[in-house]
Amino acid sequence: MRNSTNPALLAILSGGLIAGTIDIGSACVINWLSPVVILHAIASGLLGKQSFYDGLPSAFFGLLLQWAMSLIIAAIYVSATRWLPDLRHRWIPWGISYGVVVYFVMEYVVVPLSAAWPERHFDKPIDYPKESENLLAMILFGLIVAFFCRHFLGDSRTSTPTA
């Protein structure tokens, strides 16, 4: 019997869920907050300040939102390898680059357009150490997604998966 598992789907699920989960841990370390508070903050993107008063259901909603966003981010990268196969061959520099792009999109498009609380005020001074840590976390995110893409879809030069 032939294995009918879709390698692109495996790359998206593995990369997205692992990177998304590690990203929650990174946010905990960077901000010195518990995972529940981080998950409430994620849920506040849709629920606003109220998410911090809704207990564990709101935290669970934040986890689902985190994983959904992570899967979408991973799916975009995996899909891009169809047109840009070098993304799999040179996965380390492209994973780093993708992480930087994800950082800027999240920081300057997604979060400002959300109902996240507390609101980001662009007139306040930038906390460069914290922003650097957040950028490094997104670079790690991009590397994880790129790694699983390469692992399940293989090198673009050989088209042979390494799994």
pLDDT along the chain (163 residues), means of 10: 78 98 98 97 96 97 98 98 93 98 95 87 83 97 98 76 56
In the prediction, which pLDDT does 3 show? Answer: 60
In the prediction, which pLDDT does 98 show? Answer: 98
50: left (phi over 0), alpha (psi -120 to 50) or beta: alpha
In the prediction, which pLDDT does 69 show? Answer: 98
In the prediction, which pLDDT does 30 show? Answer: 96
In the prediction, which pLDDT does 2 show? Answer: 52
In the prediction, which pLDDT does 1 show? Answer: 46
Q: Report the distance separating Cα 86 and Cα 94, nearest Å.
A: 8
CB atoms within 10 A of CB 162: 10
∠ Cα 85 86 92 (to 5°): 125
The answer to whether the beta carbons of residues 94 and 87 sit under 8 Å apart is yes
What is the value of pTM for the model shown?
0.90
163 DSSP assignment: -
